[in-house]
Amino acid sequence: MNITLHAMQINFFKRFRNFLRTTLFGGVVALAPLTLIIFMFRWVINLIGRNLTPLVDRLLQDPDPNPYFKFALYVITFAAILIFFFIIGLIVRTRLWAFLNRFEDRYLLKIPGYKLARETVKQFFGKNRSFFKEVVLVDVFNSGALMTGFITDDQGEIITVFVPTGPNPTSGNIFHLQKDRVFKTGASVDNGMKSIISCGAGSTEIFQAREHYLLDPDKG
């Protein structure tokens, strides 16, 4: 009897240990892609922010700042981010990229969650973004406050919309809304994405596109 009980205890602890191990590993795998993406964006934004600190200090110290200065700061920040990724794009076209690809195949792809993170980034910033059908403004809580989002599925009366959180468009919320709470704009997905990344700067283009869309929906 004691031997049987002891064996059951050993079996229980083994199963419990395996449960903890697999659950912990599953949590790491689930969070690794998101953590990697967030780290990348934070690193880029912090790098640019350090170089723009003198401009920010000037804005804060000026008792009567030029109203266009703050807007210019947003434009400079957005342009700096674009330039950074443009430089990365140039690297892609060189032999260095072939070396990085070999390095990725040999080492990085063996890291749990890395492949998922890479595919996620490709979906958001690659050429194939067909899952984002169009840019819309949504009144999620029927309060009059509009959010910028992207239609990902249309069931007729119910429309599924992904609303990203700026400036990181890879995270956000999914809403299934009645179609009367979804307002089409006719704006391009690129303009919508730029608005998200720049924390709302450039939203004028979305509203202007909506005005044109309302005048001629067939061209939207």
Is the pLDDT score of 88 beyond 60?
yes
Percent of the chain whose pLDDT exceeds 90: 16
Is the pLDDT score of 91 beyond 60?
yes
* Peptide bond connecting 167 to the previous residue in cis, omega within 30 degrees of 0: yes
pLDDT tens string 37-52? 677 777 776 776 666 6
Classify residue 183 by its DSSP letter: E
Is the pLDDT score of 102 beyond 90?
no
Q: How far is CA 10 from CA 23, 24, 42, in A?
A: 20, 21, 46
pLDDT tens string 192-220? 888 888 888 888 889 988 888 887 766 55
Tell how strand 147-154 and strand 158-165 pair up. antiparallel
Cα 183 to Cα 173: distance, rounded to the nearest angstrom: 17
Domain extent listing, the chain: 2-125, 134-219
Cα 169 to Cα 189: distance, rounded to the nearest angstrom: 12
Cα 36 to Cα 31: distance, rounded to the nearest angstrom: 9
Cβ count near 121 (within 10 Å): 15
**H or E element in which residue 136 lies:** strand 134-138
The single-letter code of the amino acid at 85 is F
Range among 66-70, 135-139, 166-170 with highest mean pLDDT value: 135-139
Which residues make Cβ contacts (< 8 Å) with residue 14, sequence separation at least 6? none
Q: Which long-range contacts (CB under 8 A, 24 or more apart) does 7-14 make?
A: none
Cα 89 to Cα 93: distance, rounded to the nearest angstrom: 7
Structure tokens at 205: 């283009």
Contact in structure between 184 and 220 (CB atoms under 8 Å): yes
Structure tokens at 40: 């990348």
